[in-house]
Homo-oligomer: A and B are copies of this chain.
């Protein structure tokens, strides 16, 4: 509801791409250079770099500064924010009370329509 892109929206947007999620999966096994990340991906190095830039802007990865090959590493804080946000909806997929609730609503709605 803000004009500037909020952090969570930026994170979710960055994650809404299978290549970027594949990159994070690779980085969960340890640091990797752009070349290492690009290896298995069916795209050019510049395309991979663009994906890395999106991940970096969302705070999902950081790049090393001390070494020339600037390895990428996973940063988990934004992922924790996603987990925290989605956890608020856990009760809707756990337990069966929603289905009962739905059934009762349908019955009630049917009665109102009649």
What residues make up the interface of A, taking CB atoms closer than 8 Å to B?
1-2, 6, 8-13, 15-19, 21-22, 24, 28, 31, 41-42, 64, 66-67, 73-74, 76-77, 79-80, 82-83, 85-90, 92-93, 98, 102, 105, 109-110, 113
Main secondary structure of the interface of A (DSSP, over half): helix
As for how many copies of this chain the complex holds, the number is 2
Find A86's partner among B79, B93, B113 (CB 8 Å cutoff): B79
* Measured CA separation A87–B24 after assembly (Å): 13
* Measured CA separation A2–B22 after assembly (Å): 12
Can you give 22 contacting A-B residue pairs, CB < 8 Å?
A1-B18, A1-B41, A1-B42, A8-B18, A8-B21, A9-B17, A10-B16, A12-B12, A12-B15, A13-B16, A28-B89, A31-B105, A64-B109, A66-B110, A76-B89, A76-B92, A76-B98, A80-B93, A82-B82, A83-B86, A83-B87, A83-B93
